[in-house]
Structure 1
């Protein structure tokens, strides 16, 4: 295919006004005019000719380099590859029409070899919209992806070309997100301080009212409270982008996923802590919680359940506290999946909150669909709850809404999980208990089960975790009493030599001899005098929440 370079100018004949073109006498000078290139392209499917033309080069060398670049692009496809030649011709036509720079040869070679569209100018934002519109799956997961795209990805990298997205772009984006956390923290602190100052201004009086009005106006102009984008959130943003780019690779839009190679700080799962007396004292003084995940002691849980014994949701809180159901699972539990005679409960459905809308869905994982054994106290609590529900059904009559749920509103309608959480907070604040999340009550159930001797595998099945790692990392904080018992038992496992008399005072030696003689008398015949530990019995601090064995009356029932 023919191609050439030529020199021309835009001078016109002063008489006719027509361009002089190559006839301009000034072209004899080196600095007059500019160079142009023209390259013939493969014909269209209908046989019509097409070509690439571009002008404005200052030197013959620059024009010749551009022509060589065009010929190199045409040479990427074999002479018998009509489809490849047509793609390159369309690419050059589009570049010429848009007056865009010629594409990189190696990049074009890779795209051509992978069968990608050479003329695509799709942006990251455009592809994210296409991907999200066609995404299927759990509504909660789709909503999370939509939020990540709208809040983080579209504003920061949505304008970039999809095929030109690099790891450096993503590294810069996540660095900017982390730096914005400082501004968010400062803005939140300023707004919080302004609200506190507003609360200190008296209500009565002309001057205080004027000050309150001015303060409210200032607060209205401040940025609203915003959440810090922590490492875990940044990991979720990357997960959304990585999934979208993997889909783009499947559609042959790109060949490389930069989201899989950007380095981020690991989002560590917060360790749960038990509310000890020292931590409660610190919380009361400062209002700060030691960890995002806090767990009540057995005494705290017992106080809470005693306080809410007459509340209509007592059975729900009892079930969550002892058997580890999640909030959505408890709200979505059906009577048809609850066998009180056999003492078994099957978790088959859950209620999920999306914004404020509530919908029914399957458990998050296959492990979440599980059958849980119920102790006698829990069975009795559910029986009393069912009896009260039957009375409510009779009272409401035709206005009763039959949902088949174990836990409902007074008229039978579905419980909104957020209202259950609100009620939970109201109840424990009434008696001054330290704060925990309803989401973390199953944590307490797992801790109690672990302290009572249950293995990690048993706890994993009870809580419906897909991985035992989640169970061991998050849901097995030892109670202080159990931790102390294990520490003492571990110390007794190491045999120690008798303390020499030279190193102790006479009084201490006498006391030691008396203690040793007493210990020797207490060792049964045939027992190991070194005190081999066969089993650890936890102290009675667990008693307030341990389930009592069924008496004769309950067994008869």
Structure 2
């Protein structure tokens, strides 16, 4: 063994009790291999300290490859990094990412990864540990559902602010952990295997848009009334928020789309609202919420009836965040119909009047959709106002984002080419557009059925008779009987001339 730091000779390390000479020689080679990993005396002293500590705890020498990896990356050999410590280091290194992405990483680490896995040594994290975390999350989902269904106000209040974790969020949690462990492998060589990469989770089924047919609306109204009564009982006589009851009632799908008549009814009701132009633009051209509130006047080209989608306003918690679209496909220019462009001109005149009223207090932000003082519109304000208009119009609820789904479905039902729909929506591929928007309006489905039937219809043509069997057809020179009956077996049947 190497000497101490002060040069004092160290007591030799002796071990006995091996059953064979080969076992003893293998252990000796293992010890020599550990001490040969580095020639630096300080590192060799660390290796010695590690060997003695591990032998005392486990009666065996430390793993050679694990120590080699730590020596090569200049780690403290006698300190073990936990999952929590590495996740903290991972977050520090993620500086050049979108604010929303970093917030997502931080919430996954804070709410799930550290509480369930934080105390485990990073190099001893197993697939079963990660699978157990997701099992625990699913168990808590069941607790939330049970408490909410109990009807006991105290039990309901205990989980009021806890939301069940769905399959999509679980996949994102795993993706965050997998990314953090990949960095530990590639940059610091703390691991040689990523256990998060092989954990199996339930597949995520993307909800397809569902049309609000008359039958579904009737069913929803009954569910909404029952939901409202439950809320009143839970609140024990206190006022129930009508919008919360309106959007909280069960619906056939998380993604609902209005029919053409329902969309027109909403636009007619919202005509006098100061944000009508925003809702019209989303309903007709399928902009995302952040893209809609992020439209700027320099990007509106009235002469060409086109709008450039080059900016967006998203939310980080409650804080609005401005920036360019995240993908090249989302940064685009779209054509706009004449009526919508005329509505935008009316909106610009209204904004000019508001500017005169505000005078020096007006903030010239350059955005198309602003508050009354000219400042950029908060995305959540657009959503809250949308829900109120839907409720007042007496329509079944949809999300503001579902107006975008409705625009896509309407384009496909109108026969617009799938490639144009993809570019208008800002999707990366037409395959994604086609797979997502498979629902069509009932009228379009009926028209497609009629068109198919019409194509197949035509003049009635008599069906041809059955093809006669050669064995049962009488031929010249035969008796009309099947071969082998009433004739010698060697009789030759004449064939018809060519």
Match of residue 224 from structure 1? 160
Match of 2:217 in 1: 280
1:438-477 per-residue CA deviation (whole Å, 9 max, x = no partner) reads 0111111111111112122111111111233331222342
Work out whether 1:152 is the aligned partner of 2:107: no
Shift in alpha-carbon separation, 1:178–1:68, aligned structure 2, 3 A? farther
Q: Cα distance, 1:496 vs. partner?
A: 8.8
Q: Which residue of 1 aligns with 2:399?
A: 437
Match of residue 31 from structure 2: 74
Residues 14-29 of structure 1 correspond to what in structure 2 (within 5 A)?
none
CA distance in 2, matches of 1:468, 1:149: 35
Mapping of 1:252-271 within 5 angstroms?
A: 252-271=189-208
Task: Provide the rounded CA distance (Å) in 1 between the counterparts of 2:11 and 2:429.
Answer: 62
Partner Cα separation in structure 1 for residue 398 and residue 156 of structure 2? 32
Aligned match of 1:348 in 299, 303, 310? 310
Give the direction of change, closer, same or farther, for the CA distance of 1:441–1:60 in structure 2 (3 Å limit): same
Q: Which whole-Å CA distance do the structure 1 matches of 2:435 and 2:404 have between them? A: 14
Q: Partners in 2 of 1:155 and 1:66 — Cα distance?
A: 42
The offset of 1:340, in angstroms, is: 1.4
CA, structure 1 residues 219+268, in 2 after alignment: closer, same or farther (shift >3 Å)? closer
1:339 to 301, 319, 325: 301
Instruction: From 138, 141, 160, give the equivalent of 1:181.
Output: 141
Aligned residue for 1:309, secondary structure, equals helix
Identify unmatched segments of 5+ residues in structure 2: 225-249, 464-498
Q: Secondary structure at the match of 1:303?
A: helix
Map 1:124-523 → 2, pairs under 5 A: 124-135=83-94, 136-190=96-150, 193-195=151-153, 218=154, 222-250=158-186, 251-287=188-224, 288-494=250-456
Post-superposition shift, 1:489? 2.7
Q: Is the 8 A contact 1:194 1:219 kept in 2?
A: yes
Normalised to the residue count of structure 2, the TM-score between the two structures is 0.79
Contact 1:275–1:297 (CA<8 Å) still a contact in 2? yes
Distance in 1, Cα, partners of 2:157 & 2:11: 59
2:82 paired with 1:123? yes
The answer to whether structure 1 residue 90 and structure 2 residue 46 are counterparts is: yes
Distance in 1, matches of 2:124 and 2:398, equals 47
Q: Give the deviation of 1:491 after TM superposition.
A: 3.8
Query: 1: distance between equivalents of 2:294 and 2:11?
Result: 67
- The equivalent residue for 2:69 is 111
Q: TM-score under structure 1 normalisation?
A: 0.71
Q: Which runs of 5+ in 1 are unaligned?
A: 1-40, 196-217, 502-557
Q: What is the CA RMSD across the aligned residues, in angstroms?
A: 3.0
Report the count of equivalent residues: 432
Residue by residue over 1:510-556, the C-alpha shift from the partner in whole angstroms, topping out at 9 and shown as x without a partner, is xxxxxxxxxxxxxxxxxxxxxxxxxxxxxxxxxxxxxxxxxxxxxxx
